[in-house]
Amino acid sequence: MDLAIVGLRAGGKTTVFNALTAGHGGAAGGAEQIGAVKIPDDRLEQLATLVKAKKITPIEVTLHDLPALFERGAAPSGSSAETLSRADALLHVVRAFERDDVPHPRGSVDPERDIRAFEEEMAFNDLGVIERRLEKLDITVRAARPGEREVAEREQSLLGRCRDVINGSARLRERIRDAQDLKALANFGLLSLKPQLILLNIGESEVERASDLEAEFSGRYASAGTAVSVLCAGLEAELAELTSEEAAAFRREMGAGEDTTHAVLGKVVRLLDLVTFFTIGEKDAHSWTVPTGASALQAAGRVHTDIERGFIRAEVIAWDKLLEFGSHTEARRHGQLRTEGKQYTVQEGDVINVLFNV
């Protein structure tokens, strides 16, 4: 899962990156930094304890800290453009903190203005991509053979709808929701089509109001494909350098509540409309994600293509039921371990064991 950290200059993107990666990121070439973060899951921990797993593998998110986009009106290019095209979602860092020694490039701190400005830049960028492609398609439609013409006309129609959405001041991520449409648009790198987590980067003086601010901005901006979270990145980056005991004591003193960094990443998982399932054994207890509505066969392929190819059936049980009965054997004896076929729809928290033959 790849997440691109974006936003205006002096918004604290790199501080957010350091907070989320606990300072363990590294340079990836140019001005980009890259880091991997594992998302803790108490369910996985309990399942690992149950089977005495030697290894625990939680969900991992790869973070890309990109330089400020749209500087002087320029579109993303080079490695930034490549990273954005393959990113599963955008983490849009919005400055909500005051610092005299770090002036805001627009002269004042105004999160709502900055959110609107960045959305407009993304829409303008996407409109350019769409217009250029439509110009080429116009030539293709007139010159192509009948079969090729039909394919080009379908693409032309879809891109025309996208252009109308943008010209109507709506966001692509809210209006283009059909799975086939999204698949057809996947290679265009349309930024306003990507799921987005708006992350308000607040100062330490606002920490106690974090929940209220999140509720306020969620009411204004949360919608299909867009969620809102709040983080005091400066504080979290400092706490990441302490031991867990020291950090907990400091949080109590500051009234900062629980660690919010993993909550932010958990929100991204939900924003992407993913469900988590588990595979467990003595060697490894592992978390996996698949899109909501995915089949058992797709889940098998997520683990390994050989398992998907040789799929026979899946043994499935809810994670909490497995903990309740203590083992697969006991769960089977009480009729709680189900046998499912290829088309079974994976549910959040399923523990799945696929029987296969290759």
Q: Kind of pairing, strands 285-291 and 311-318?
A: unpaired
Cα–Cα distance, 312 to 163 (Å, whole number): 46
Q: Does residue 340 fall inside a structural domain?
A: yes
Instruction: Indicate if the pLDDT at residue 254 is higher than 70.
Output: no
| The domain boundary residue, chosen from 239, 270, 301 | 270
Write the CB contacts of 338 (distance below 8 Å, at least 6 apart in sequence).
315, 316, 317
Q: Does residue 276 fall inside a structural domain?
A: no
| The domain boundary residue, chosen from 270, 285, 313 | 270
Please tell me whether residues 76 and 14 are part of one structural domain: yes
Q: What's the whole-number mean pLDDT along residues 108-136?
A: 94
**Higher-confidence residue: 253 or 265?**
265
**Mean of the per-residue pLDDT values for the chain?**
91
Q: What's the whole-number mean pLDDT along residues 51-64?
A: 95
Give the model's pLDDT for residue 77. 77
Q: Does residue 277 fall inside a structural domain?
A: no
Give the model's pLDDT for residue 26. 66
Please tell me whether residues 248 and 105 are part of one structural domain: yes
Please tell me whether residues 348 and 246 are part of one structural domain: no
Q: Does residue 34 fall inside a structural domain?
A: yes
Cα–Cα distance, 151 to 158 (Å, whole number): 11
pLDDT bucket at 229, cuts 50 / 70 / 90: very high
Instruction: Map 121-143 to HEC letters.
Output: HHHHHHHHHHHHHHHHHHHHHHH
Q: Does residue 263 fall inside a structural domain?
A: yes
> What would the two tokens of residue 66 be?
């990109």
Q: For residue 131, which amino acid is it?
A: E
User: Can you name the residues that pair with 290 across neighbouring β-strands?
Assistant: 275
Place of tokens 């500087």: 71
Give the model's pLDDT for residue 333. 94
> What would the two tokens of residue 334 be?
């009480």
Please tell me whether residues 311 and 224 are part of one structural domain: no
Please tell me whether residues 165 and 214 are part of one structural domain: no
Please tell me whether residues 47 and 90 are part of one structural domain: yes
Instruction: Indicate if the pLDDT at residue 32 is higher than 90.
Output: no
Name the burial class of residue 104, with classes exposed (0-12), middle (13-18) and buried (19+) by CB atoms within 10 angstroms of its CB.
middle
Give the model's pLDDT for residue 291. 93
Please tell me whether residues 342 and 213 are part of one structural domain: no
Could you tell me the residue range of the domain that residue 159 belongs to?
Answer: 123-191
Would you call 98 helix, strand, or coil by DSSP?
coil
pTM for this predicted structure: 0.87
Cα–Cα distance, 73 to 321 (Å, whole number): 55
Please tell me whether residues 315 and 344 are part of one structural domain: yes
Q: Does residue 254 fall inside a structural domain?
A: yes
Cβ contacts of 19-22, under 8 Å, gap ≥ 24? 19/231, 19/233, 19/234, 19/236, 19/237, 19/240, 19/261, 20/63, 20/236, 20/261, 20/264, 20/265, 21/63, 22/240, 22/241
**Higher-confidence residue: 240 or 302?**
302
Give the model's pLDDT for residue 321. 96
Q: For residue 339, which amino acid is it?
A: T
Q: Does residue 235 fall inside a structural domain?
A: yes
pLDDT bucket at 24, cuts 50 / 70 / 90: low
Let me know: does 32 contact 86? Beta carbons within 8 Å.
no
Please tell me whether residues 78 and 210 are part of one structural domain: yes
Instruction: Indicate if the pLDDT at residue 236 is higher than 90.
Output: no
- Residues of the chain with pLDDT > 70, as a percent, come to 96
Q: Does residue 101 fall inside a structural domain?
A: yes
Summarised one tens digit per residue, pLDDT across range 172-196 is 999 999 989 999 999 999 999 999 9
pLDDT bucket at 14, cuts 50 / 70 / 90: very high
Let me know: does 113 contact 33? Beta carbons within 8 Å.
no
56-57 sheet: strands from edge to edge: 56-57, 285-291, 274-280, 350-356, 311-318, 338-340
Let me know: does 259 contact 248? Beta carbons within 8 Å.
no
- Domain containing residue 318: CATH number: 3.10.20.30
Please tell me whether residues 183 and 197 are part of one structural domain: no
The least confident of 73-77, 122-126, 153-157, 300-304 is 73-77
- Domain containing residue 39: CATH number: 3.40.50.300
Instruction: Map 235-286 to HEC letters.
Output: HHHHHCCCCHHHHHHHHHHHCCCCCCHHHHHHHHHHHCCEEEEEEECCCCEE
How many domains are contained in the chain? 3
Secondary structure of the chain: what % helix, strand, coil (to 5)? 50, 20, 30
Please tell me whether residues 100 and 248 are part of one structural domain: yes
- Domain containing residue 187: CATH number: 1.10.150
Please tell me whether residues 235 and 105 are part of one structural domain: yes
| The domain boundary residue, chosen from 170, 191, 212 | 191
Give the model's pLDDT for residue 336. 93
Give the model's pLDDT for residue 23. 65
Instruction: Indicate if the pLDDT at residue 244 is higher than 80.
Output: no
